[in-house]
Amino acid sequence: MEDARGRVSLAVFRFHLRGRACCVVCADFSPVILTDLNSEQDIGANCLLAEIGPFRFLIDSGVHPKKLGVASLPRLGRLPELDFVVLTHCHLDHLGALPVVLRKQPRVEVLCSPASALVAKRILRNSVTVMLRQREEAGVRDYPLFSYEELDAVEKALRPLPLLSRRVLRGVGDAEIAVTLHPAGHVAGAVGCLLEHKHRRIFFTGDVLFHDQETVSRAEFPSAPVDTLVTETTHGAVAPLEGVSRAGETARLLELVNGVVAHGGSVLIPAFAFGRMHEMLTLLGEARRRGALAGCPVFCSGLGIDLADYFDLMTRKTGAVRFRRRVLQELGVRSLSQRFVPPGRDLPEKGIYLLSSGMLVENTPAWRVAANLLDHARNAVCFVGYCDPDSPGGRLLGCRRGDTFAFPGLDHVAHVRARVERFYFSGHAGRDELVAFARRCDPRSIVLTHGDPPARKWFEEALAEELPGARVFDPAPGVAVQV
């Protein structure tokens, strides 16, 4: 990390690069300067400014999931003129601020996977709808941060690149930088990104999973060494769970669902609308086909169902995911009844309620159905994705049977009698897998991103031990580091 004096000298060096031909040193080994524009050292609003030789670009431009209004944006105030933006995937903590960047710099191109190019506008459109609602309901005056109309410009700026194919971009004079997008597992269309300029090779993992999921194949990352690795650190504070596998978790989930349904109860599965809902639908459809799922109705809602068409399209056009819309018919999926059932009273129609949001955020379908199911012992709530401890889902996971759980706005306090269970279908790599990947990369510099402070601390210590020759950076928000 550079101190104030270091940064001044870097600024001078940059001027030297921009203004003249490269000097002798950078002709061989151009400086790389990285600035994390997320406002906190956490998972937050992913947005990394990279300066390599004469090139300036962003890796992602997301919004902070725990902040509202302009406070959710990354630090976009003093962006240099960008050569391009890389979008690693379409979760909002990576995508949600892209329209704001493009408003500032309308000519910049956004490099992404073909699957992300198909779905990005639809996700952002939903984001405008949610922001308009939050302006209305929570009085967030600076929402929406962008309009429906601005999304056409976003779609035009997207440049889908074939995966695992090296694309050379030209800059000022004869400067060149090569970009290769690598499948990152995680979610449909997710990529890591290899940048090569002169003798520099820098790899950005983005969000990554090294195991196959029901609908998305595992990451295919470079096998040759890089000099700089920028790695996500989501699970740094989570020790690997012994004996937990996706197949085992699937069997455990089906057993619980079948048991609850057999005893006349309902199961709520809160699921993220982008990806996890489609994985669950595919998994349930597969179970129903082989007779391993009870014959009950399946209820779904909202964005996740709208996105089914997009996931079907991504499957047919890009192969980035394996999802077929016909599974909705096979499962007899029904939309959620609009008939009002007072909170605390059990839902009259028994079945599986596969609803967003995954973290049981207030005023979502999953949250409203939880207010009907939680008070009754024959029901169950099955979490199948990450829940922030401060989210309603995280708080419910911390409850024991008999505890109270409040639904502000519905004027209801539930007594938790339903079974509440967590299943491990994570979309992020385990910490040991990321350290093993770092070892294979053999970098001289490693930069930590996308993790809360305890997660980063674990990586800092583990990487110092495993790769004693590498420098590990945990950049403070907005502070440039030279690697």
Residues that bind Zn ion in the complex, under the rule CB under 5 A: 91, 93, 207
> Closest approach of Cβ 326 to Zn ion, in Å?
27
Count CB atoms within 10 A of the CB of residue 264: 11
Handedness of CA 149, 154, 157, 158 (dihedral sign): negative
Residue number, 91 or 200, with CB nearest to Zn ion: 91
Cα–Cα distance measured from residue 49 to residue 76, given in angstroms and rounded to the nearest whole number: 10
User: 256 to each of 380, 387, 421, how far by Cα in Å?
Assistant: 8, 20, 9
> Closest approach of Cβ 320 to Zn ion, in Å?
14
Two structure tokens written together for 318: 């890009």
Residue number, 299 or 323, with CB nearest to Zn ion: 323
Residue number of the CB atom closest to Zn ion: 91
Q: Look at residues 243, 322, 332, 241 and name the one whose alpha carbon lies nearest to residue 283.
A: 322
> Closest approach of Cβ 482 to Zn ion, in Å?
25
Parallel/antiparallel/unpaired status of strands 445-449 and 471-473: parallel
CA 128 to mean position of chain CA atoms: 18
Cα radius of gyration rounded to whole Å, the chain: 23
Residue number, 196 or 207, with CB nearest to Zn ion: 207
Residue number, 93 or 474, with CB nearest to Zn ion: 93
Render 198-257 in DSSP notation, one character per residue: TTEEEEE--S---S--SSSPPP----S--SEEEEE-TTTTSPPPTT--HHHHHHHHHHHH
Residue number, 91 or 350, with CB nearest to Zn ion: 91
Count CB atoms within 10 A of the CB of residue 54: 18
Residue number, 91 or 322, with CB nearest to Zn ion: 91
> Closest approach of Cβ 61 to Zn ion, in Å?
12
> Closest approach of Cβ 89 to Zn ion, in Å?
6
> Closest approach of Cβ 477 to Zn ion, in Å?
16
- Kindly give, in sequence order, each residue whose CB lies less than 8 Å from that of residue 144, ignoring residues fewer than 6 positions away: 128, 131, 132, 135
Residue number, 93 or 279, with CB nearest to Zn ion: 93
> Closest approach of Cβ 234 to Zn ion, in Å?
7
User: 392 to each of 68, 82, 361, how far by Cα in Å?
Assistant: 17, 39, 6
> Closest approach of Cβ 205 to Zn ion, in Å?
11
Q: Provide the β-strand partners of residue 111.
A: 86, 159
> Closest approach of Cβ 390 to Zn ion, in Å?
17
Whether residue 124 contacts residue 111, with contact meaning beta carbons closer than 8 Å, is answered with no
> Closest approach of Cβ 356 to Zn ion, in Å?
15
Count CB atoms within 10 A of the CB of residue 8: 11
Residue number, 45 or 373, with CB nearest to Zn ion: 45
Residue number, 191 or 435, with CB nearest to Zn ion: 191
Residue number, 64 or 91, with CB nearest to Zn ion: 91
Cα–Cα distance measured from residue 367 to residue 359, given in angstroms and rounded to the nearest whole number: 9
